[in-house]
Each structure stands twice: as C-alpha cells, then as structure tokens.
Amino acid sequence: MDEANITLRVEARMVGKKRPLDAPWQVMLSPDLLSPDEDSRQVLRLRDLIAALVRSEVQTFQSRQQERRVLHILSAQEIDEAVLMGKISMGGDDERAPVAVDEDEAVRVALQGFTDGIYLVFIDGKPYRELDAPVQVHQKSSLLFIRLVALVGG
C-alpha cells in the first residue's frame, strides 16, 4: 500500500437478495492505518480496515444527522427531483435529539459480528476469514461485505 490516501469502493449485499443493500459507496483510508509487523514492514490487518470503515460510517451518520437539522432553500429542480422520490424535505424539521453513537462500541460490535460469522468480507474478490490477516488494498480495490442470514426453521 502506498503512502497516499486510498479510496475503496465498498458494497454490501445480503445472501438471498438480488440487489445490494445500498448503492456502492466510496471510503477514503488514511496511510496511518498501517502498523509494523515483526519484520518492521507496514501491514494493514483486516481488523484495522473494518474498524476504519465503521468509524468512517459513524462520522458520516453523524454528519447526516446534523445536516437534517439545517433549513435548506430548494431550487425548482431540487423540488421536482424530490417529488419524483416521493418526499420533499427542506430540513430543519427534525426535532428529535441526534442519536449518540459510540464509535468504539460500533467497532467492537462489527468485529464481533465478523468473528460470529454474521458477515463475510471479500477484498478484490478474495475472501478473508481472520481478523488479523494482512490485507492488500490499492486505489482500485473493492470491498464487499456479504451479510449471512439464518434459514427459517433451521
């Protein structure tokens, strides 16, 4: 992995569903995620990658919460697009208190979910089964999370 920030394409799917859970999204990774191994080489472990992604998603969630609290003036085009989506929102109407999310707890839950087999991780098509496995990512890497679902009655 080079010293520049790396942007990964991330996708989440669920076993048994044809469509992804969400549209693929981009996540930027900082080079400070690397940690030295026994031979002083820089290594990115799967657990560090998952933790970085979870922290990024928590920060994105918190930003969306803040954005909803701001009143926006919409253009005619934005109104027309919102009509097509079925909801016009100018923001500023979210009276609920922002949900506090503990990043460390979110990371712990995500890592435990991987350990418990709730989801699988593929990087550039290669499956990873161990949290401490070193991973190789580059600018064109794609990360796929596959959520596993127990069968009904079994």
Mean pLDDT for each 10-residue chunk of the chain (154 residues)? 73 84 83 60 83 92 74 78 78 64 94 95 96 89 87 53
What is the enclosing helix (H) or strand (E) of 46?
helix 46-68
Q: Where exactly are the structural domains of the chain?
A: 36-138
* Whole-model pTM over 0.75: no
CB of 149 closer than 8 Å to CB of 16: yes
Q: Which residue, among 96, 115, 97, has the nearest Cα to 50 in the 3D structure?
A: 115
